[in-house]
Structure 1
Amino acid sequence: MLPNNFRWRIVLLLFLVTTINYIDRNVLSFAMLDDTFRKEMLGVPLTYTLTQADLNAFKIQYGWVDTAFKVAYAVGFMMIGWLIDRVGTKRGLAVAIGLWSMAGIANAFVSSFRGLVATRFVLGIGEAGNFPSSIKSIAEWFPKKERSFATGIFNAGANVGIIITAAVIPWMTLHYGWRISFMTTGVLGLGVLVAWWMTYQRPEQHPKVSPVELRYIQQDHQQEVIQGRLTWWRLLRYRQTWALIVGKFMADPIWWFYLTWLPDFFNSSESLDQTLDLQNIGLPFMVIYIISDGGSVFFGWLSSQFMKIGWELNRARKTTMLICALCVVPIFFAAQTQNIYIAVVLIAIAAAGHLGWSANVYTFASDLFPKSAVAMVTGIGGFAGAVGGAVLAAIAGPIRVQFGYLPLFLIAGSSYLLALFIINLLVPKMKPVEM
């Protein structure tokens, strides 16, 4: 008898949570194109005409705001990953959603870079709870052979959030002002908090899960016997943990770079034959993130499909990750071409490769560790990714001002292949840890 499919409804719920998560965090990337926002953050009169020196100063200050968010995101991963493994997925993610939603609303009331640093720091703490919770939920609700596909689906919510942001926020900012944009997206988060709290339970406790589906979900769950106390320092003794750290530290900063700086790239790149502003920037972003959404789902499916036809976990995950890494390599041409359409396609393929990479790297936690350690391990990996993102954020502004986008795109194109090489050295054969 085939299982019913209630577990896929859980994936759709995680998809919705992730979508709202990315809407909240990406409003700022489009607000930074608004002259009123720039002037208020710089503390100059609204009638003042910004000079190029003002814009360069704004970009450098914006880089520090982005750094504050990523530092908080790193700290939040460690804190909330630990919290989730102790209070459970339902309560842990509820706390995170509430925190990031209130911080998102607070963004609407700031009037300086100092205030923006404070609200973005709190936003980073809260938003860090999304992925540890989601990965732990996938481990609770899916057998290993379906996890990368399920992860690819909910991870696609990141791009849907960006697509919605690109389609709506520029229009909303132009017509109602940047403060309303932040207020609206923060309220959406409170709405999804209600949906999460009313819907989520573990599969063995959920009244809508049949005994057949429960057996299917738990087909390869091992009896967990973890001797001693589970701590971050203990997890760092395992090569498998370091493989996840490398996969996140070297790839996540590139994704953060896309989210933070692509609006500016299309708005002010010296190489492109045309530039975009708030009135016409939405369409290219929709194209980029629709294509990359396909990459998240396809590469998650591909890894699962390899396992279904008999490939071992090690071969299936690493082959898929190699294909994803190769998709990113050509992105440095985007900083050299004059044709904006070619730049959009190159960035879209690279973003698709990243989301496919992310869908497979995130499964390391549930592939290689007991369920009771999944959120903590994911938190450690997320911490590493956010630290890498903070480092790149701190240097991206000065590099952009001094040298343009080519050095940043060269970093993006080479990071994934180097990460895969190091991962293979650390874990030549992917095997679950014995704790």
Structure 2
Amino acid sequence: MENKPKVFRWTVVILLFTATTINYLDRQVIGLLKPTLEKAFSWTEKDYSYIVMAFTAAYAFGYLIFGRIIDKIGTKIGLSVSIFVWSVAAMGHALASSTFGFAFWRVLLGAGEAGNFPASIKTVAEWFPKKDRALATGIFNAGTNIGAVIAPLFVPWILGVYGWEMAFILTGAVGFVWLIFWWIMYERPERKKGVSQEELAYINSDVEEDDTGESDEGVSWGKLFSLRQTWAYVLGKFFSDPIWWFFLFWIPSYFSDIFDLDLKKPSIHIAVLYVVATIGSVGGGYLSGYFIKKGWPIYKARKATMLIVAFAVMPIMAAKYAPSIWWAVALISLACAAHQAWSANMFTTASDMFPKKAVSSVVGIGGLAGSVGGVLFPWLVGFILDKFELAGNIGAGYNIIFIICGFAYLIAWLCMHFLAPKMTKVKL
């Protein structure tokens, strides 16, 4: 039987999973409080879309900056700074007394939360060989769904008992608890006390000679932007990330507008949606790893999995025909699961195509691209919904948005395929 040090890499995944859960818990609170805050501050759909855009704009540039910084200072300090900033910002929402105030705290939250994924993807690349990275990524990325499950179960309860201010304070405070465990427990594998030589050998089993660890030699953005592999990652994120943002910020309102779901009460419908998405995250990571262990080339395993899940999103276009809320939950759950399966593999392609010293920078650039899409898409969503709401047919507005969602991943896959057909590893 293996002792604990031999499998410490999975303890690292649990830490990343927990951080990602907190990340998405804090992010989703405002979506669940939207009906209450709309009344309290007289928001229109456009007002709310501006608040979402403020978050995503800050998240975009935060992604780029944190990606660069984490490649320089390392994952331990980088992720610590990230979660400290976003936890302060999450709690700060309770102080907001205007739309501008909410926008301010959303900007700080977005900037802080942006460090989570560049740090986590780099951490997985440091602790896992390629054949296990998608599964490890899928597991920690499932935290996005668990955070989204926890939020609709507890935030409405906190709202009803203590008010909307405490919903922000209590959820934001959780990050500081996690930070204690991260600082005490985490270190790079070659520096971590107690990690066995056997585990180190397994971690480095497919490491190339020029990719054995950290490097003081930076890789310029100019160099990265000159590579087709970078643009493959960038466009993959640009077309797919905004869809998840829509699911996160607008699906609760969709259920409220179309099916009269009471968001002041714990919502099993939203919880089910994200539980299914969790299965997709882990399943997508497992599937590409399964193909690799069957002898498939890494690029083929990733692309086959991503194409399968791109098609799995498309049934969401039938949501307009849903005769009841549970039919809508089923279709949207499938799309969310497919997105998370896509995301587990999408993130992993960065460490497939780039050496460890550039992984966070590439993830940051891709995150910027995805967030730019995340800025533009909420503007379009807000415009469409306001227009159709005035016409007395907001459901038709959601139907148009679902059609866009249905095709987005196939477009992303085609862009990646033509720019990086075999996802050739970059030599830097």
Matching residue of 2:288: 303
Q: State how far apart, in whole Å, the 2-side matches of 1:260 and 1:227 are.
A: 39
Q: State how far apart, in whole Å, the 2-side matches of 1:67 and 1:121 are.
A: 9
Q: Please give the residue correspondences for 1:269-418 in structure 2 after superposition, counting only pairs within 5 Å.
A: 269=258, 274-280=259-265, 282-403=267-388, 404-418=397-411
Q: Is the 8 A contact 1:171 1:278 kept in 2?
A: no
Judging changes above 3 Å, is the alpha-carbon distance between structure 1 residues 229 and 7 closer, same or farther for their aligned structure 2 residues?
Answer: closer
User: How far apart are residue 314 of structure 1 and its match?
Assistant: 1.4
Matching residue of 2:192: 206
Question: Is it true that 1:236 corresponds to 2:225 in the alignment?
Answer: yes
**TM-score when scaled to structure 2?**
0.94
For 1:15, which of 14, 17, 20 is the aligned residue?
17
> How many equivalent pairs are there?
415
- Which amino acid in structure 1 is aligned with residue 193 of structure 2? P
Question: Is it true that 1:170 corresponds to 2:156 in the alignment?
Answer: yes
Q: Is the 8 A contact 1:40 1:112 kept in 2?
A: no
Q: Residue deviations 1:196-229, cap 9 Å, x none?
A: 1111100001113101000100111112278975
Q: State how far apart, in whole Å, the 2-side matches of 1:228 and 1:279 are.
A: 52
SS in 2 for 1:111: coil
Q: Is the 8 A contact 2:285 2:345 kept in 1?
A: yes
For 2:247, which of 235, 258, 262 is the aligned residue?
258
User: How far apart are residue 247 of structure 1 and its match?
Assistant: 1.1
User: How far apart are residue 132 of structure 1 and its match?
Assistant: 0.2
Q: State how far apart, in whole Å, the 2-side matches of 1:285 and 1:415 are.
A: 23
Q: Residue deviations 1:54-91, cap 9 Å, x none?
A: xxx52210000000000000000011111101111000
Q: Is the 8 A contact 1:78 1:383 kept in 2?
A: yes
Q: State how far apart, in whole Å, the 2-side matches of 1:75 and 1:230 are.
A: 18
Matching residue of 2:392: none
Q: State how far apart, in whole Å, the 1-side matches of 2:194 and 2:362 are.
A: 30
User: How far apart are residue 40 of structure 1 and its match?
Assistant: 3.0
Question: Is it true that 1:246 corresponds to 2:235 in the alignment?
Answer: yes
Q: State how far apart, in whole Å, the 2-side matches of 1:231 and 1:31 are.
A: 42
Q: Is the 8 A contact 2:58 2:111 kept in 1?
A: yes
Q: State how far apart, in whole Å, the 1-side matches of 2:262 and 2:121 are.
A: 36
Matching residue of 1:145: 131
- Which amino acid in structure 2 is aligned with residue 38 of structure 1? E
Judging changes above 3 Å, is the alpha-carbon distance between structure 1 residues 210 and 229 closer, same or farther for their aligned structure 2 residues?
Answer: closer
- Which amino acid in structure 2 is aligned with residue 237 of structure 1? S
Q: State how far apart, in whole Å, the 2-side matches of 1:130 and 1:38 are.
A: 29
Aligned-pair identity in percent equals 46
User: How far apart are residue 337 of structure 1 and its match?
Assistant: 2.2
User: How far apart are residue 230 of structure 1 and its match?
Assistant: 1.1
User: How far apart are residue 365 of structure 1 and its match?
Assistant: 1.2
User: How far apart are residue 112 of structure 1 and its match?
Assistant: 0.8
Q: Residue deviations 1:237-271, cap 9 Å, x none?
A: 111111111111000000000000001100012xx
Q: Is the 8 A contact 1:263 1:281 kept in 2?
A: no
Q: State how far apart, in whole Å, the 1-side matches of 2:233 and 2:363 are.
A: 8
Q: State how far apart, in whole Å, the 1-side matches of 2:125 and 2:138 are.
A: 14
Q: State how far apart, in whole Å, the 2-side matches of 1:400 and 1:278 are.
A: 19
- Which amino acid in structure 2 is aligned with residue 370 of structure 1? P
Judging changes above 3 Å, is the alpha-carbon distance between structure 1 residues 223 and 170 closer, same or farther for their aligned structure 2 residues?
Answer: same
Q: Is the 8 A contact 1:336 1:406 kept in 2?
A: no
Q: State how far apart, in whole Å, the 2-side matches of 1:125 and 1:338 are.
A: 40
- Which amino acid in structure 2 is aligned with residue 144 of structure 1? K
SS in 2 for 1:204: coil
Q: State how far apart, in whole Å, the 1-side matches of 2:22 and 2:200 are.
A: 29
User: How far apart are residue 430 of structure 1 and its match?
Assistant: 1.5
Question: Is it true that 1:59 corresponds to 2:59 in the alignment?
Answer: no
For 1:422, which of 382, 402, 415 is the aligned residue?
415
Cα root mean square deviation, aligned: 1.5
**TM-score when scaled to structure 1?**
0.93
Question: Is it true that 1:155 corresponds to 2:148 in the alignment?
Answer: no
Q: State how far apart, in whole Å, the 1-side matches of 2:68 and 2:376 are.
A: 24
- Unaligned 5+ runs, structure 1: 43-56
User: How far apart are residue 374 of structure 1 and its match?
Assistant: 0.6
Matching residue of 1:39: 39
- Unaligned 5+ runs, structure 2: 389-396
Judging changes above 3 Å, is the alpha-carbon distance between structure 1 residues 229 and 293 closer, same or farther for their aligned structure 2 residues?
Answer: closer
SS in 2 for 1:428: coil
